[in-house]
Every structure is written in structure tokens, then in C-alpha cells.
Amino acid sequence: MLRRSLAAMLVARRCVSLAAKHRVVVVGGTHGNEYTGVWLEKALRDKSETIVGNPAAVEANRRFLDEDLNRCFLRSKLDAPPETREALRAREVDAALGPKGSDDAADLVIDLHTTTANMGVTMICDAWCPFALRAAVYVKQQLDDQLLLGQDVKIMFNDEKDKENAPYLASVGKAGLQIEVGPTPQGVVRWDVVDATKRALDAVLELWNKECQGECVDLPAEIDVYSVAEGFTKLSWPVDDDGFPAAVPHESIQDRDWSTLRKGDPLWRDRDGETVVYDGSFGDEIVPIFVNEGGYYYASSGRGIGVAQKRRVAVPPAP
Ligand SMILES: [Zn+2]
């Protein structure tokens, strides 16, 4: 009995000192027209450490000025001479929250995004960050029965094990993840989307604090995720010489993210209204995500519909 309480004291003392050092940063406006994150950054800045990812793009109400900031955090890109305003901003963010991969980096970076696609609350985790997947599982546990935006919480799992190859802003942190919520138009703040995002954020922070305090949290050993390949493959719609879409998602998949698409199923409608079917190029059965995401009309963000596969993965244990 004595031994057990002594052990508990030791754990508690160690975790208090760890918690005191911890630096958690919430980021909004990495994409300048995703106003939910911009709203929450303003709402939280007096209570937490926050930054605006791309302030110039927020001011312009655009996703980005020259290129997608959330693709600028690859090691190769951070080390190259900056040629765009976003590449320059990525260096500033890396200096403020990183440097990426260093001991000085923030302990946890949570980047808030929205999508125009009907995806509900999606926790975006990279394989290099074990905390991200645990947090996603915890958010599911806490929020699934609330059916936020009419759906359970989904986990998008980027199979990227090397943090240096991760292009996302959140990868400047020692741990990092993204919360993606929709549907919402760009440049609009909807309370239901703000509320869903805040609930997911609060649950992430709750797990973080519990783990910092050495509290044991029961999570399942395995979880279903929607896995995307390194680099996040897209089914690109055809574009014309102006880069404008020459076909749009077929009405049978519009608003039906997370359902299975099989080879031969309708995929696009072209300008004549003709149906173009899925040719099976990414496998006979795929799960389309980010169906008609406004941000994916841009080449530098990766054009088209996201391609995922449903997969069961092990939930990494707490450290
Ligand atoms: Zn975004």
C-alpha cells in the first residue's frame, strides 16, 4: 500500500514538471478563407497560445496568395530559398513554433481547418505522430454520440511516417494534428461548425492534459480509419486551358463523402451533362473524401477528390 502511494506520488511529481514545460499552440487561418479557425483563434487568443497561420490570406479572404501554405512545411521546401509569400510565411511560422524537428519546437500544434465537403468532424492524423491518432480516437469516444453535423467523427490517417516529408503546418510541432470540419462555405462563420470544431479541440486538449498528468485513459487497441497514401492521392477532374474544371462530381457522390465508390460507378458530369464513370485506377473500391472541396480547385493544393481506403490500425499506447 505504502509502495503504491509512493509510486503514485513519483508519477504525479514527474508529470507536473513535464506539464509546466509544455507548449500547446492552436492555429487558425492557415487557409485564409476558412473562417471557423479564424474565429476560434480570435476567441481563444487571450486564454491559450494561438497564431494566425496566413494573416495576409485571411485579410484577402483567400485560401492563399501564391501557393498553399499548408504544403510548405516539407523539409526540402523549408530549406530552399523562399520564392513565394507563403514560402516566406512558412519560415516565419517555423521560427515561431519550431524549428521543425528540433527540441525547441512547440510540444503540440493543433491546426483548425474547414471544408466545403460534407465530411462532418474529421481528425487528420499523420503516422509520424502517435498522439494524433490517440487524440482522434479519444475525440470519437467523447463526441460520436453527439452526431455533430449529423455524423460520427471520422479519422483520416496519412500514412506518412517521416515528419520531414509532411507538408502540413502542424508538422512543425513535436506532436501535431489537424481538425477539419464541414460542410461550410469558405469565408463564412456558422455556429454549428464553430461549435463542432471547439468540441473536438477541447477533447484533444483534455486527452493531452490527462496524458501529461500521467492519467491512464482507456482507448481501444484498434480503430477503423480512412487511410490515404503518402502525398494524399486525388482523383483529379479534367480541367480546361484556364485550369477551370471541365467536369464536376456526379450527383450520386456529391455530399456522400465516406461511402464506397466502385469501379464503373458514376464519378463526374462533364459540360454536356454526360456521366463519366470511375475507371478503377486507384483500386476497384475506394472511399471518396473531400468531395467537391473548394480548396481543391487549386493545383498547388492538389486538384480533385481525395482517395481513401478504409483500414483498421493499431492505436499507439500512451508514452
Ligand atoms: Zn484548410
Kindly list the domain boundaries of the chain, sorted by start residue: 22-228, 235-301
Residue with grid cell 481543391, as numbered in its chain: 296
Distance 265 CA to ligand 1 centre (A): 28
Residue with grid cell 461548425, as numbered in its chain: 193
Cell output for 24 = 500547446
Q: What pLDDT, on a 0 to 100 scale, did the predictor assign at position 299?
A: 87
Q: What pLDDT, on a 0 to 100 scale, did the predictor assign at position 18?
A: 47
In this prediction, residue 230 has a pLDDT band, given cuts at 50, 70 and 90, of low
Q: What pLDDT, on a 0 to 100 scale, did the predictor assign at position 21?
A: 66
| CATH number at 235-301 | 2.20.25.160
- Does 250 count as an annotated binding residue? no
- Does 34 count as an annotated binding residue? yes
Do the first three CATH levels of 22-228 and 235-301 match, i.e. the same topology? no
Distance 250 CA to ligand 1 centre (A): 23
pLDDT digits (tens, 9 = 90+) for 5-45: 444 444 443 444 444 569 999 999 999 999 999 999 999 99
Nearest to 193 by CA among 114, 299, 297, 264: 114
Backbone angles phi and psi of 68, in degrees to 5: -70, 115
pLDDT digits (tens, 9 = 90+) for 116-170: 999 999 999 999 999 999 999 999 999 999 999 999 999 999 999 999 999 999 9
Cell output for 29 = 487561418
- Does 251 count as an annotated binding residue? no
| Spatial distance between the Cα atoms of 47 and 210, rounded to a whole number of angstroms | 19
Q: Mean pLDDT lowest for which of 30-44, 221-235, 253-267?
A: 221-235
| CATH number at 22-228 | 3.40.630.10
Q: How many CA atoms lie within 13 A of 100 on its CB side?
A: 25
In this prediction, residue 64 has a pLDDT band, given cuts at 50, 70 and 90, of very high
| Spatial distance between the Cα atoms of 121 and 187, rounded to a whole number of angstroms | 18
Distance 298 CA to ligand 1 centre (A): 12
Distance 17 CA to ligand 1 centre (A): 35
User: Would you please indicate which residues are annotated as catalytic (active-site) residues?
Assistant: 180
pLDDT digits (tens, 9 = 90+) for 262-286: 999 999 999 999 999 999 999 999 9
Q: What pLDDT, on a 0 to 100 scale, did the predictor assign at position 190?
A: 98
